[in-house]
Structure 1
Amino acid sequence: METIPRASRPTFPDGYGIPESSEGLLSWDQVEPRLREARHYWLSSVRPDGRPHSVPRWGVWVDGRFWYDGAPTTRHTRNVETNPAVTLTLESGTEVVIVEGESHATRADPEGLGARLAEAFGKYHDAGYRPGPDAWAGADGGGLRVITPTRAMAWFAFPTDCTRFTFAGRGEGV
């Protein structure tokens, strides 16, 4: 079951112009379609020595989570195996969506989640990427990972609609 996060104002230093009232907050219904429709995402993780690492990723937003796949030998996968904390962002610096959460290895049954993921990955068919519903059913899950969000922040008209989203039971605000 998908969790609808709670919207509130983020805390910014004085001078940024963030409104004090809740008037103008974005709703999750305004933000989530951007996560579903995006083709390119930036995934940031932390190397074992504490240095940051960012990489562009393809993936899909399904059931309130971000699903992506790749080789277990990649730098970002090795990072999240040690420390699952990640930040996922979209490309725009003016229509911003930032998601914080944890990345974990998983698998997907071809008759259920695998079919839904294969359909969602259809947005990459023109680029030659066409995973089938059984792509993530093997013992290693085909390299499938899922990011479960704990919090998010978004704005499309900074600072008036700057909104923090907190997912119940998953973390405090950004």
Structure 2
Amino acid sequence: MSQPRSDRPEFPDDYGLPASRDGQLTWDQVEPKLVAAKHYWLASVRPDGRPHSVPRWGVWVDGRFYYDGAATTRHARNAEFNPHVTLTLESGTDVVIIEGCSRANRADADSLGVRLADAFGKYHADGYSPAADAWSGTDGGGLRVIVPERALAWTSFPTDCTRFRWPVS
């Protein structure tokens, strides 16, 4: 996946956002936080327009967020109706907000499945340890992937507040 472009987000003038790019975060500073995080919040929209948020376990691999669960869950049904979602870290100090689309996915047990199973190792102590072939069936084992489109991140608002945007594919 290509690296995102970075710039300053658009906020009201009285937020104190610096005019220059000095102090902005780099994607190399932000992405490890997504990899290391254990708890994430996923927000989707119900078909009637009401919001829905749910805590999720998942992994950031190859520039995308992978998570699994039954196709009958509210968040999966919402994403099938409207794939636009946000993903945020549970941390209140390291703010990372990903905007993207969530789609059902599969993972070949010999390649992506191995990397996902390894990344999900952060949950082994919690009793969750999927095998590399868990997502290789025709239904993908409930695997979903969020492909990022935009992100906002900061650790010291507003000084390092940075927007990231990926090229449209």
Specify the TM-score bucket, using the shorter chain as the normaliser.
over 0.9
Residue identity (%): 70
Deviation at 1:14, TM superposition (A): 1.6
AA matched with 1:69: D
TM-score (norm 1): 0.96
- Structure 2 equivalent of residue 75 of structure 1: 74
Alignment match, 2:166: 167
Unpaired stretches in structure 1, ≥5 consecutive residues: none
Alpha-carbon distance between aligned partners in 2 of 1:14 and 1:149, rounded to the nearest angstrom: 27
Match of 2:34 in 1: 35
The runs of 4+ residues in structure 1 deviating greater than 4 Å are none
Q: 1:11 Cα shift? A: 0.4
Structure 2, gaps ≥5 residues long: none
In the other structure, the counterpart of 1:54 is 53
Correspondence list, 1:88-167, <5 A: 88-167=87-166
- Once the two structures are TM-superposed, the CA of residue 94 in structure 1 deviates from its matched residue by 2.8
Confirm whether residue 19 of structure 1 aligns to residue 23 of structure 2. no
SS in structure 2 at match of 1:7: strand
Residue correspondences, number: 169
In the TM superposition, residue 56 of structure 1 has moved relative to its aligned partner by 0.2
The one-letter code matched in structure 2 to 1:136 is W
Q: In the alignment, residue 126 of structure 2 is paired with which amino acid?
A: A
TM-align CA RMSD = 0.7
TM-score (norm 2): 0.98
